[in-house]
Structure 1
């Protein structure tokens, strides 16, 4: 195990939120590539669970716990430091590591705000009760987010896209695993 990492078990509610890009500076800081435009989960949690890179060099095996000291925005990226990662060499050894955070450590969403991960897998139904499919993915198009809905037509997997805006989305029922939309099946 690398210096600064402790063996750990991945929490049941762990969500992958980014990866370590590279070392940043000479004092053990490292650059992080978050998977979200608003990486609040990275800033709110001081316990990151790391898995080795899927490709390339693997400097550790299994799940490792990294105790984060500080995270901040720098230019167009996020940089972080950890309590036991004290120099550039230790930070470079983290390159490519995938970062997971327990869902319980995410900041609470405000009214009418949702984490993308919570929308994945929800059933989408229109006002007439017609099932339109299941949320497979979300896309950020700049001004708005778009739901990518997967459905089957004539035995073949299809996709439809619905803007995730109040004009088309009437209700998101997380406990009921359902999104109600003003959208027709033939759109």
Structure 2
């Protein structure tokens, strides 16, 4: 994985998805997107991962649909063994890359820790 660079920790990290199992023998990986439209995950670059306590930038070489999955190819990840090392890594970006929202719209990250109350006034707990 020679194309991965050590990076500084993001100021306000947000998880946009997760790398799944390897696909094939040439280093492709399944990806699970947490964005509203699954393909929107590719609008946010660079991607960061954290391995062994170190932040690394991973560079996207390509992506495509395969049946119901989205698969990705990362630069420097050229075989199944290298891809397997990235299985279950979270795909992270700095939240400053996210677009501004309209009044009354929120990102889920902004709701963490908020108290949930029904319209009748019953407290359901915290997000």
Query: If the length of structure 2 is used for normalisation, what is the TM-score?
Result: 0.74
Q: Is the 8 A contact 2:63 2:73 kept in 1?
A: yes
Aligned positions of 1:12-31 closer than 5 A = 12-31=11-30
Structure with a larger share of its residues in helix: 2
Higher relative contact order (CA 8 A, sep 6+): 2
Question: How many aligned positions are there?
Answer: 123
Q: Is the 8 A contact 2:30 2:71 kept in 1?
A: yes
Q: Does 1:77 align with 2:94?
A: no
Q: Is the 8 A contact 1:40 1:107 kept in 2?
A: no
How large is the Cα RMSD of the aligned pairs? 2.7
Report the Cα offset of residue 15 of structure 1: 0.3
Q: Which has the larger radius of gyration?
A: 1
Structure 1: 4+ residue segments shifted above 6 A: none
Gaps of 5+ in 1: 53-59, 123-133, 135-148, 150-159, 163-182
Match of 1:103 among 77, 81, 95: 95
Deviations 1:64-119 (A, max 9, x none): 11111233444333321122222222212211212211112234546765422233
Query: If the length of structure 1 is used for normalisation, what is the TM-score?
Result: 0.54
Match of 2:111 among 110, 119, 124: 119
